[in-house]
Amino acid sequence: MEKKKIKEMVARMTLEEKAGLCSGLDFWHTKGVERLRIPSEMVSDGPHGLRKQDDAADHLGINDSIKAVCFPAGCATASSFNRELVTKLGETLGEECQAENISTILGPAMNIKRSPLCGRNFEYYSEDPFVSAEMGGALVHGVQSKNVGTSPKHFMANNQEYHRMTSSSEMDERTMREIYLASFEGMVKKEKPWTIMNSYNKLNGTYLCENKEMLTDILRKEWGFDGYVMTDWGAMNERVEALKAGCNLEMPSCGGATDAEIAAAVQDGTLDEAVLDSACEEFLNVIFRYEENRDKTSVFEYERDHKIARQVEEECIVLLKNDDAVLPLSSDKKIAFIGKYVKEPRYQGGGSSHINSFKVESAWDASEFTQNVKRENLVFAKGFDDAEDKVDETLMAEAVQTAEKADVAVIFAGLPDNFESEGYDRKHMSMPDCQNKLIEAVAEVQPNTVVVLHNGAPVEMPWIGKVKAVLEAYLGGQAVGGAVLNVLYGNTNPSGHLAETFPIRLHDTPCYLNYGGEHDKSVYSEGVFVGYRYYASKDMKVLFPFGYGLSYTTFAFRNLTVEKERIKESEELTVNVDVTNTGVCTGKEVIQLYVAPKEGTIIRPVRELKGFEKVELVPGETKTVQFVLDSRSYAYWNTEIHDWHVESGEYEIQIGRNAQDIVLSKTVYVESETMIPKVFNLNSTMGEIMSDPKGKAVLEQAFASMMGEEAQAMGEQAQGDGEAISNEMMAAMMEGMPLRQLISFVPGVTKEALNQLIMALNN
């Protein structure tokens, strides 16, 4: 509907109707106004399938949600590094929404994985904001192409479940911009989500629902968001303040209570009615966008979507280890499938994203129809029961015996439901003891032991040196079994790469000392050094780095070229690199481009991911992959100008197999085009002044006239005192010396002269 018409409609509404429109009708519906033909619409979780519940259904339960398809969770889809694939997943979700008359799916979940402990990491994409924004953007693109809205969440800095409804995430401006806002920024700018969901927590002391800087200044004014902001369920604090800050819709229903607060505030003059009007207009824009583009022919195609779930998962699985090419398995070998998850896979996480799957395909089920799998060559042993974390000696002994008699043992392990979920964080990164012990015991008798992991976040692997292969399947959705078998037996060549670091142990993580916080404050003191930005900068050993993933084939990277070796910041730079499949089977590879500043005055991560592409290659084939970099590829957030800034200097353009294995690099010189105006005073150091081109010129000239012969003599003497004060020492002392100290150290320099100098510098 045209904006003009919407304006007119709002003008015809009563104050009460307008106030009412800004809160939910019930748990899942927005309100309508019958006399104006404003429809009530349904929204639903999300994000990796539909959780369409009845109005009266319980908040987190699955009792009354419809049968649906559970797709791989965000932790998995991010590791596909395949935008087209995630867009296809989005299109499928969009069609399902149309079929079920759902106007908006509540997702994608796009918070940064600050610590592996966050209970909801399984829904989130990455520790890297670029990956998060790209993958989230791909999903938004797909869903919205079917004329269904998305609600990227939880905006923002909701990086822990502990006290998520009251805790304040405390961070500096640069960290906020470079990491936590950046995780949403690219997606909002490119894909224009119809809605955004604000998070429960506070940011530097202000609840997100009331955070004008986030909801209006940044989201709308800077990034151009033109949809409506809804609260997370129950995330409203002060309704009138929230409306003023840019939060349009309180969800779920408030029972009328806070609607009355809005009406009263307009009447007593504390709320400008125009604010309410534009909140309604923004909201109605989206309501009619859906209404006018209904696809009533859409049907929920369960079996088709189940297959899509399997296809997606196949690209998400990450091969972490494969010694002696123990994988792929050969169909003629006798294989022992061990572990509870062989028959009952853990394929999704707990909480609001929980899907009532219409069917679940375990590896055991899939062995009946998967190509190259001979069921008669498979044996099963349960090995553990994770209902409680206790070793079951009988199950374990049986598993060990079964493994011993087979050619290969494949253990299906990971994290049980109660280890990770929305609502609480993990306390440690261990797998259940009963599973760790089982893996050790099996590996003891079976040299060819393979571990398949079903988990939503990194785990410690004390047994890593004792097993031959590890496949990270993540929480792979309801078709995980078939996907895993296709990878295990080589029908699909694994191509997932980790979108997060697997540290060796929890103690190594960047926010280990602060995570969770105290007194409801969580201080992000690690700053921008999140995930690989920390590990790579410290050159730390990790279990598996960000970006890591193996294949059944091999790839070589050659011929990295940059279009120019010297550019101005505003110029785009085209980078090309050749990738060749040097192995024996077709496969897909993720080409990762990192940018590493070689010099500069800002403390920065040693490298940051600025581009990735996924390509498929047959054996012997070479493809040239192109990246186009722009000024953001070199920029950091400058807190003086409150904007992105590029420092002049050399930057390495690096191609990496992962964040800690760089295989090719080229250096470019980037010239800054933004002068940061400097104001000098008596406490400005000589180094600061000399690093500024104008400062340098003024200072050199002033020195020549101000100091005269005496000072020059002093300088010469200092140089002559080779032993006591070396040139380096002199230079270092001068670099850090504030102007005012010249009075004490340089004969003839007066305060008046310095004041004049400062005037000249600041002029």
Least CB distance to ligand BGC at residue 361 (A): 26
Minimum distance between the CB of residue 233 and ligand BGC, rounded to whole angstroms?
4
Closer residue to ligand BGC, CB minimum distance, 232 or 361: 232
Site for ligand BGC in 236-275 (CB under 6 A): none
Q: Of 45, 55, 64, 232, which is the active-site residue?
A: 232
Smallest gap, in angstroms, from Cβ of residue 57 to ligand BGC? 10
Nearest to ligand BGC of 352, 356 (CB atom): 352
Lookup: tokens for 28: 């899942």
Maximum CA pair distance of the chain? 98
Cβ 144 to ligand BGC, closest distance in Å? Answer: 17
The H or E element spanning position 17 is: helix 15-21
CB of 694 to ligand BGC, least distance (A): 52
Relative orientation angle of helices 751-762 and 693-720, to the nearest 10 degrees: 140
| Euclidean distance between CA atoms 24 and 37, whole angstroms | 17
Task: Judge if the upstream peptide bond of residue 156 is cis by omega within 30 degrees of 0.
Answer: yes
Site for ligand BGC in 316-355 (CB under 6 A): 352
Question: Has 332 been annotated as catalytic?
Answer: no
Closest approach of ligand BGC to the CB of residue 316, in Å: 21
Total residues contacting ligand BGC by CB under 6 A comes to 7
Shortest distance (Å) from residue 152 CB to ligand BGC = 11
Residue 222 has what DSSP assignment?
I
What is the Cα–Cα distance from 227 to 221, expressed in whole angstroms?
12
Query: Looking at 64-170, which runs of residues are DSSP E strands?
Result: 104-105, 149-150, 168-170
Q: Measured between alpha carbons, how far is 249 from 413 in angstroms, rounded to an integer?
A: 42
* Residue among 274, 250, 308, 275 at smallest CA distance from 70: 308
Cβ contact 71:94 at 8 Å: no
Least distance CB 231 / ligand BGC (angstroms): 10
Q: Is residue 589 at the binding interface for ligand BGC, with CB under 6 A as the rule?
A: no
By beta carbon distance, the residue nearest ligand BGC is 352
- φ, ψ of residue 344 to 5 degrees: the values are -130, 80
End-to-end CA distance of the chain: 54
Q: Which is nearer to ligand BGC, 106 or 707 (CB)?
A: 106
Q: Which is nearer to ligand BGC, 109 or 452 (CB)?
A: 109
Nearer to ligand BGC, 45 or 96 (CB): 45
Site for ligand BGC in 105-134 (CB under 6 A): 106
> Contact with ligand BGC (CB under 6 A): which of 153, 426, 607, 657?
153
Please report, as a single letter, which amino acid is at residue 439. Answer: I
Upstream peptide bond of 154 is cis (omega within 30 degrees of 0): yes
The DSSP string of 429-457 is: -PPPHHHHHHHHHHHHH-SSEEEEEE-SS
Q: Quote the CA–CA distance of 77 and 496 in Å, as a whole number.
A: 9
- String of contacts with ligand BGC for each residue 37-66, x by CB under 6 A: --------xx--------------------
Per CB under 6 A, 232 contacts ligand BGC: yes
CA 292/CA 160 separation, integer angstroms: 38
Token digits of residue 106: 């509540």
Residue with tokens 């206790």: 390
C-alpha 303 chain-centroid distance: 30
* Site membership for ligand BGC, residue 233 (CB under 6 A): yes
- Strands (DSSP E) contained in 441-554 are 449-454, 469-472, 521-523
Closer to ligand BGC by Cβ: residue 106 or 542: 106
Q: Give the three-state DSSP class for 126.
A: coil
Provide the token pair at 352: 């609001």
The contact pattern for ligand BGC, residues 71-110, with x = CB under 6 A and - = no contact, is: -----------------------------------x----
Cβ at position 423, least distance to ligand BGC in Å: 8
Q: How many residues does the chain have?
A: 763
Q: Is the Cβ of residue 228 or residue 412 nearer to ligand BGC in the bound state? A: 228
Which residue lies nearer to ligand BGC by CB, 53 or 402? 53
Q: Between 233 and 300, whose beta carbon lies closer to ligand BGC?
A: 233
Backbone angles phi, psi at 29, to 5 degrees: -115, 145
d(CA 301, CA 255): 36
Binding interface with ligand BGC (CB under 6 A) = 45-46, 106, 153, 232-233, 352
Query: Annotated catalytic sites, by residue?
Result: 232
